[in-house]
């Protein structure tokens, strides 16, 4: 499961679709609708907030807005929580930079046009996140190629 801290505008089609699917799974976990993935590290920052369902709803809304802008039809009726929240989740600059590099590697393999767009931009966070100083988050689980 990858719940990107990056703004959905940075994702390619595959990343946006996968992000929607995985955020819906995260929502199901937080709503108590499924037993799987309950202890997934990517869920900690949502679960530890005061408004987990509303925050994941706002996260899904950000994905939905980007999908709509691109002409995709994501079903907004699947969003359980609020779409606008006053609370923001902190994300470290190191985490955002880590995800930016990780996304660049994915785009290089599967989407050269999106990689070119990626190279010409800078990382910005999804609207539910506020960037704070710090390294890679403790919950991040680097893959074998990230070491």
- Sign, CA dihedral 108-110-116-118, equals negative
CA proximity to 23, closest of 49, 68, 55: 55
The pTM assigned to this predicted structure is 0.91
Quick check: 7 and 122 in contact, CB under 8 A? no
pLDDT of residue 34: 83
Provide the residue ranges of all domains of the chain, joining segments of one domain with +: 8-133
pLDDT of residue 58: 94
pLDDT of residue 135: 96
What's the topology of domain 8-133?
A: Endonuclease V (1.10.440)
pLDDT of residue 147: 39
pLDDT of residue 143: 64
Question: CA dist 96 to 70, 76, 102, 122, 133, Å?
Answer: 24, 26, 10, 11, 10
pLDDT of residue 50: 86
The residues of the chain scoring below 70 in pLDDT are 1, 143-147
CA atoms in the 13 A half-sphere facing the CB of 132: 8
pLDDT of residue 139: 87
Cα–Cα distance measured from residue 70 to residue 35, given in angstroms and rounded to the nearest whole number:
33
DSSP state of 72: -
């Amino acid at each position: 499961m990858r719940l990107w801290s990056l703004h959905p505008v940075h994702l390619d089609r595959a990343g946006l679709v996968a992000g929607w699917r995985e955020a819906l799974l995260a929502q199901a976990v937080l709503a108590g609708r499924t037993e799987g993935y309950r202890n997934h590290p990517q869920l900690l920052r949502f679960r530890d907030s005061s408004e987990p369902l509303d925050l994941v709803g706002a996260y899904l809304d950000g994905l939905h807005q980007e999908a709509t802008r691109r002409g995709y039809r994501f079903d907004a009726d699947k969003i359980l929580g609020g779409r606008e929240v006053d609370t923001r989740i902190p994300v470290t600059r190191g985490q955002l930079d880590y995800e930016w590099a990780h996304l660049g590697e994915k785009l290089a393999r599967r989407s050269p046009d999106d990689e070119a767009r990626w190279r010409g931009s800078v990382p910005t966070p999804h609207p539910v996140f506020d960037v704070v100083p710090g390294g890679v988050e403790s919950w991040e689980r680097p893959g074998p190629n990230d070491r």
